[in-house]
């Protein structure tokens, strides 16, 4: 059972490390806005072209918000894919079948955070 616990702890660490490296990207069609986010939705890179000020401020704000949403959606999907792939490799021998039902993915933490809970 200790081997399973050690294996589970190592798997959780790999999942967390892998999902923390995930980034989602989105760029506007005209190249005015580029947004990069992590899997929790934090903006990690925001670039505005030199001609971004030519847009109406409300239009530019809407464009940034939209590209943020798309980048975040992309990052979240990739994190979910990684989580599913890495967590499905774990086959507990001592924890029994109920432990498979207790594995939760992104956004399913009891505290309301968007962390990965196993």
Structure confidence at residue 9 (pLDDT): 87
Structure confidence at residue 28 (pLDDT): 96
pLDDT digits (tens, 9 = 90+) for 6-34: 888 888 899 999 999 999 999 999 999 99
At 9, phi and psi to the nearest 5? Answer: -60, -40
Angstrom distance (rounded) from CA 79 to CA 72: 10
Confidence of residue 3 (pLDDT cuts 50, 70, 90): low
For 54-70, b/e burial (b = at least 16 CB within 10 A) is ebeeeebeebbeebbeb
Q: Domain 2-101 maps to which CATH number in 3.30.1310.10, 3.30.160.270, 3.30.160.150, 3.40.30.10?
A: 3.30.1310.10
Report whether 64 contacts 34 (CB < 8 A). Answer: no
pLDDT digits (tens, 9 = 90+) for 61-83: 999 999 999 999 999 999 999 99
């Amino acid at each position: 059972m200790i081997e399973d616990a050690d294996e589970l702890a190592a798997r959780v660490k790999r999942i967390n490390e892998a999902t923390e490296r995930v980034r989602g990207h989105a760029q506007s069609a005209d190249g005015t806005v580029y947004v990069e986010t992590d899997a929790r939705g934090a903006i990690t890179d925001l670039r505005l072209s030199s001609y971004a000020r030519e847009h109406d401020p409300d239009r530019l704000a809407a464009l940034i918000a939209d590209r943020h949403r798309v980048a975040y959606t992309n990052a979240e999907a990739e994190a979910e894919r990684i989580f599913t792939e890495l967590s499905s490799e774990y086959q507990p021998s001592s924890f029994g079948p109920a432990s498979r039902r207790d594995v939760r993915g992104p956004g399913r933490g009891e505290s309301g955070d968007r962390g990965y809970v196993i």
